[in-house]
Amino acid sequence: MAETLAEKLEKSDLGHWLARFESFMIFVGVAGPFATVPQLIKLYFTHSQHAEGQSLISWSLYALLSLLWFVYGLVVGKLPIYLGNGISMVLNLLMVFGIMLHAGYTF
């Protein structure tokens, strides 16, 4: 099997950068889901009249996908995967409920 960039980096002088990048991505995995907060503020508080522009299909799929990654993270015992996707799942479900509340059934 071909050596990955990560394996090459580990052997080189750049090895300590890889460790930092991995730590940073753990932070990204947990903090990233909160990117949905401005979208939730628009949907619930400031731009509810535009709720029909939100795709109920897309947000329902996001909720399902984050549930699958949450379960996968638990199975493989990776905290950034299950914590990050657990947070995503809650926020995505809030989007689904908000769309149904303000726009009803839509695609």
List contacts with its own copies (CB under 8 A).
2, 4-7, 9, 18, 21, 25, 28, 32, 35-39, 41-43, 47, 49-55, 57-59, 61-62, 65, 68-69, 72, 74-77, 107
Q: Tokens at residue 10, please?
A: 């580990």
Rounded CA-CA distance 78/22 in Å is 13
We find the least distance from the C-beta atom of residue 61 to its own copies, in angstroms, to be 4
We find the least distance from the C-beta atom of residue 78 to its own copies, in angstroms, to be 8
Smallest CA-to-CA distance from 91 within 57, 58, 54, 66 is with: 66
We find the least distance from the C-beta atom of residue 102 to its own copies, in angstroms, to be 9
Rounded CA-CA distance 5/45 in Å is 45
